[in-house]
Amino acid sequence: MQPPTIPPGRRLLQFCLGLWLVQVAWLGWWFAPEAADLGRRLLSGQVGPVIQQQDPFVQWLASLAAVIPPEAAYLFADRYEAGKDIIARYHLYPRTFHRFNPEVPPSFLFSTIARTGATFLIIRDWEVPPAWDFLADGINPGFKAVPGLEPAWVFRLDPRQLVGGYYD
């Protein structure tokens, strides 16, 4: 008696099925770290808002929110690649956000302040170049450092007292 023949289409289907199941196993390995973290958090009950509250950056933003009034606008000096500016904007809303590229010359800072009416300047993580010394020395009366928000620099701005007086 002849064994039953399997149609070629079925054979191809079986091959694809086998290949896909191998891929599913690989997918399990791919998601394993996330699944493990999920399991840990479920067991410890540290989920939802607790995850945000544990994040040092979000904690820092909460202390920043206590300083900046909700109706104020602020300049956030950071490179967008870091992805921190979008988190700051999200958590600090309804405060009006303006991102500011720290690689521009100081004169651009003055024009941006004038254009946006920002009353706070936040410099998150930046090696300040010599041209920006007027911030560190506190010689410009338009910039008043806000203590207690280190390691970032936070300045309260008073646009009426801003003094430029140089060309770059």
Residues that bind other proteins (CB under 8 A): 7, 9-10, 12-13, 16-17, 19-20, 23-24, 26-27, 30-31, 34-35, 38, 41-42, 45-52, 73, 83, 86-87, 89-90, 93-94, 96-97
Q: How is residue 87 written in tokens?
A: 């988190």
How many C-alpha atoms does 90 have within 13 Å on its Cβ side? 8
Nearer to other proteins, 9 or 148 (CB): 9
Residue (7 or 151) nearer to other proteins, CB: 7
Provide, rounded to whole angstroms, the least separation between the CB of residue 87 and other proteins.
Answer: 6
Q: Between residues 3 and 94, which has the closer beta carbon with respect to other proteins? A: 94
Q: How far is the CB of 72 from other proteins (least distance, A)?
A: 11
If you count DSSP H runs as helices and E runs as strands, how many of each does the chain have, helices first? 6, 5
Q: How many CB atoms lie within 10 A of CB 145?
A: 13
Residue number, 13 or 139, with CB nearest to other proteins: 13
Q: Please enumerate in sequence order all residues whose Cβ is within 8 A of that of 143, keeping only pairs 6 or more positions apart, or say none.
A: 121, 134, 135, 155, 156, 157, 162
Q: Which residues 6+ apart lie within 8 Å of 98 measured at CB?
A: 73, 74, 75, 76, 112, 116, 118
- Least separation, in Å, of the C-beta of 65 and other proteins? 14
- For the bound state, the minimum distance from the C-beta of residue 13 to other proteins, rounded and expressed in Å, comes to 5
For other proteins, give the closer residue by CB, 23 or 161.
Answer: 23
Give the separation between CA 8 and CA 14, rounded to whole angstroms: 10
